Structure 1
Amino acid sequence: MEQEFTMWALFMRATITVKLVMIMLIVASIWCWGVIYDKWRQYQKARREADLFDRAFWSGEPLDTLYDKIGATPQGPSEKIFAAGMEEWRRSHKQDGGLIAGATARIDRSMDVAIAKEAGKLQKGLPVLATVGSTAPFVGLFGTVWGIMNAFIEIAEQQNTNLAVVAPGIAEALLATGLGLLAAIPAVIYYNKLSADSDRIVAGYEAFADEFATILSRQLDS
């Protein structure tokens, strides 16, 4: 009887252990693509927001006016970092108009905390890609080893080493390795890309915070 060698046929003929491995790898692959799409949208939005805020910040509009426009509930990451610095700046003023000592350090810390929070949001989900990228090939290899072991057991029971008997079991087993690589390769590629994108976005936030702190420092000195 002629056997089918489609992906579905190979999956259906595999043992329950190999099937579970394949299902786990398929779920991991879908999860990775979900994370990739979510991060791509988030980073695109963060870049657009940063560009819009930079234009508003460097437009020459007074900082107090810009802060009042943003209000107590800033929306984007850049606005939140700016608002954190401005809030501490206003808190550092005494009722008589003077400044409480250590204002510059407190403003820097406030913005650093805001940057750290935004960096955490940007990097959320990336460990999933790293984990799948590093473990999926080994999970697939486990499925292959298990499948080949069962194939050889079946050969021994039938006492037949004909290639037509050996090939289906080997093909089913190798499918697990293929699925492992299918999950791991995109995960590794996009983990590296998204990590670099995240670092660039955070570096932009840090550069803005440094520039903003410099502006406030000039006002303190004057």
Structure 2
Amino acid sequence: MHFLAAFNIWEIFLRCDIVGQVITTSLAVSSIIAWGVMFGKRNDLRQLRLLNLAFEQHLRDQRTLLDLPESYRNKRSIPYGDLFADAIDAYWRAAEIGKQKGIDTAQYRLEHTENALQRALARQILRYESSMVFLASIVSGAPFMGLLGTVWGVMEAFSAISVQQTASIQTLAPGVSAALLTTIAGLVVAIPSVFGYNYLFASNKRLITELENYASSLADRIELESQ
């Protein structure tokens, strides 16, 4: 039964004109890419969260952050590690410049540290949100591409009827079925992408909130240690 359904779909695809076949093929390729992006993004976010939690727990076990060895600043592949490295580097760079200019104060160092944290935070948020624009484009664009193929196919079907000067279900059905194939293809691409996008959007929002909370707690701890 499934074999016959697949065979019928293939037959309908072959009845499409070049425009319908191009649209259907494009949607099929987009579907494969979208599934790959969704699974890849989900795995990346899960791995990053595990690395973040492990790094944060390791920092909690340290008595001081400002005097940690250089090796702790080489974990920039981890979002939390990137924020930590930028914050500590900015703190000591501000201390060095402040001594040279005679303005070395805790407030001066903390201002540079907070600015560095904000820049690192924005950079990591962009990292979290990568590939989301592509999925959003698939979600919004696939149904319209399917609709375009359907309108084009129906127009071609009625054009063929006007040439043959006969209007029957036998002459109309093949063209209409071929036209509707693009609508089905558009929905098959868009529906899973909607659920995948919403799931990834919620995961991104949670990770960004955790990242902001970590940046805030890191700034507080550096401020307390600098007093």
User: Does residue 89 in structure 1 map to residue 91 in structure 2?
Assistant: yes
CA distance in 2, matches of 1:61, 1:75: 24
Q: Is the 8 A contact 2:150 2:183 kept in 1?
A: yes
Q: Is the 8 A contact 1:92 1:99 kept in 2?
A: no
Consecutive unaligned residues in structure 2, runs of 5 or more: 1-5
User: Does residue 188 in structure 1 map to residue 194 in structure 2?
Assistant: yes
Q: What is the match of residue 3 of structure 2?
A: none
1:99-138 alignment, distance < 5 Å: 99=105, 101-138=107-144
CA distance in 1, matches of 2:166, 2:25: 31
- RMSD (CA atoms): 2.2
Q: Percent identity?
A: 29
- CA-to-aligned-CA distance 1:46-74 (integer Å, 9 cap, x gap): 11111101210111343245453324453
Q: What is the match of residue 155 of structure 1?
A: 161
User: Of 42, 45, 48, which aligns to 2:44?
Assistant: 42
CA distance in 1, matches of 2:41, 2:106: 41
Q: What is the match of residue 206 of structure 1?
A: 212
User: Of 31, 34, 45, which aligns to 1:32?
Assistant: 34
What is the letter of the counterpart of residue 197 of structure 2? Y
User: Mean alpha-carbon deviation: is it higher for 117-126 or for 162-171?
Assistant: 162-171
Is the alpha carbon distance of 1:160 and 1:104 closer, same or farther for their aligned partners in structure 2, counting shifts above 3 Å?
Answer: same
CA distance in 2, matches of 1:61, 1:168: 75
Is the alpha carbon distance of 1:67 and 1:109 closer, same or farther for their aligned partners in structure 2, counting shifts above 3 Å?
Answer: farther
Consecutive unaligned residues in structure 1, runs of 5 or more: none
CA distance in 1, matches of 2:110, 2:66: 17
Q: What is the match of residue 75 of structure 1?
A: 77
User: Does residue 8 in structure 1 map to residue 14 in structure 2?
Assistant: no
Q: Is the 8 A contact 2:154 2:176 kept in 1?
A: yes
Q: What is the match of residue 165 of structure 1?
A: 171
User: Of 20, 28, 32, which aligns to 1:18?
Assistant: 20
CA distance in 1, matches of 2:172, 2:7: 13
- CA-to-aligned-CA distance 1:107-152 (integer Å, 9 cap, x gap): 1110111111111111111111111111211111110011111111
Q: TM-score scaled by structure 2?
A: 0.87
3-state SS of paired residue (2:77): coil
What is the letter of the counterpart of residue 111 of structure 1? L
Q: What is the match of residue 179 of structure 1?
A: 185
Q: Is the 8 A contact 1:74 1:83 kept in 2?
A: yes
User: Of 215, 220, 223, which aligns to 1:217?
Assistant: 223
Q: TM-score scaled by structure 1?
A: 0.89
CA distance in 2, matches of 1:11, 1:186: 22
CA distance in 2, matches of 1:67, 1:35: 37
